[in-house]
């Protein structure tokens, strides 16, 4: 990711959720190399790797599925931002998880928790930190998915949460474009993370299309170019382009047919 080293010197404070693994950890690895040396604060239940803590990444333990937990740590986040003045602030809403199975066969609590983490936590953090973002300048990166572009039978709630992030991000981009705050919606396809394990698979049921590092590099380039949305990976872009031309009901049936082929035993 050396191509990003000199990309931007204005960021002085970064707040990221879910930086302990996967795409979130790759964001930390990328941002820590920026010449401006931004301070990074991770929010999650799990600590990031010791090597990042040794390099100054701050960790605030927080269960992002609980609104009261977010309220508890907001003062600490604001203090962290104030401790690193002189530049822009970047919020990366990366935490999220999915689930696989028909809606009526899965525990309702799982889907409600998914909505809390994938949707409500993003809105909650953005709402609390937006005054700082407007005051200092900066941006928000929301990690969605290519699932945001069509309904996803057998992953119905997950796809809907990512569709929310897609629509919400674009609307915020328009609202905030004159206030010094940019918003980017990142839409990766299948990536080499623990996503499928968290969704209930012992191993990935499909070939992953890319690595977390590749997703982050393309995302950060899009952010610095002030884009509103980026679909990472050539084949993902092709797939999204084709599906966008088809009727929604047909796309839903095609999506459902594909997902049923990877049904767990």
Tokens (6 digits) for 207 = 């070939």
Q: What are the pLDDT tens digits along the chain (265 aa)?
A: 444 544 455 899 999 999 999 999 999 999 999 878 899 999 999 999 999 999 999 999 999 999 999 999 999 999 999 999 999 999 999 999 999 999 999 999 999 999 999 999 999 999 999 999 999 999 999 999 999 999 999 999 999 999 999 999 999 999 999 999 999 999 998 865 555 555 454 554 455 567 899 999 999 999 999 999 999 988 888 888 888 888 989 988 888 888 888 755 4
Find the helix packing angle between 156-176 and 121-136, rounded to 10°. 20
Q: Residue 93: which of 180, 200, 165 has the closest Cα?
A: 165
Q: What is the pTM of this model?
A: 0.89
Q: Residue 211: which of 18, 29, 51 has the closest Cα?
A: 29
Question: Could you tell me the residue ranges of all domains in the chain?
Answer: 11-263
Measure the CA–CA gap between 147 and 158, rounded to whole angstroms: 8
Strand partners, 17: 43
| Structural domain 11-263, CATH architecture | 3-Layer(aba) Sandwich (3.40)
Measure the CA–CA gap between 127 and 118, rounded to whole angstroms: 15
Could you tell me which residues come within 8 angstroms of residue 2 by beta carbon, excluding any fewer than 6 positions away? 33
Cα end-to-end distance, the chain, whole Å: 39
């Amino acid at each position: 990711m050396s191509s990003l080293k000199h990309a931007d010197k204005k960021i002085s404070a970064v707040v990221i959720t879910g930086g302990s693994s996967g795409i979130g950890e790759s964001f930390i690895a990328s941002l820590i190399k920026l010449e401006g040396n931004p301070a990074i604060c991770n929010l999650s239940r799990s600590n990031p790797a010791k090597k990042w803590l040794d390099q100054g990444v701050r960790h605030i333990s927080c269960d992002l599925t609980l609104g009261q937990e977010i309220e508890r740590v907001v003062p600490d986040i604001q203090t962290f931002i104030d401790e690193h003045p002189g530049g822009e602030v970047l919020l990366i809403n990366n935490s999220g998880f999915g689930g696989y199975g028909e809606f009526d066969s899965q525990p309702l609590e799982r889907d409600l928790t998914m909505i809390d983490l994938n949707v409500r936590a993003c809105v909650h953090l953005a709402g609390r930190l937006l005054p700082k973002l407007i005051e200092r300048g900066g941006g928000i990166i929301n990690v969605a998915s290519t699932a945001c572009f069509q309904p996803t039978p057998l992953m119905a709630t997950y796809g809907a949460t990512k569709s929310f992030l897609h629509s919400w991000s674009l609307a915020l981009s328009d609202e905030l474009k004159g206030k010094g705050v940019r918003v980017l919606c990142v839409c990766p396809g299948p990536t080499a993370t623990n996503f499928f394990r968290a969704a209930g698979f012992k191993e990935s049921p499909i070939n992953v299309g890319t690595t977390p590092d590749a997703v982050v590099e393309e995302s950060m380039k899009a952010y610095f170019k002030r884009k509103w949305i980026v679909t990472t990976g050539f084949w993902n872009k092709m797939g999204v382009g084709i599906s966008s031309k088809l009727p929604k009901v047909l796309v839903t049936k095609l999506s459902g047919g594909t997902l049923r082929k990877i049904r767990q035993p």
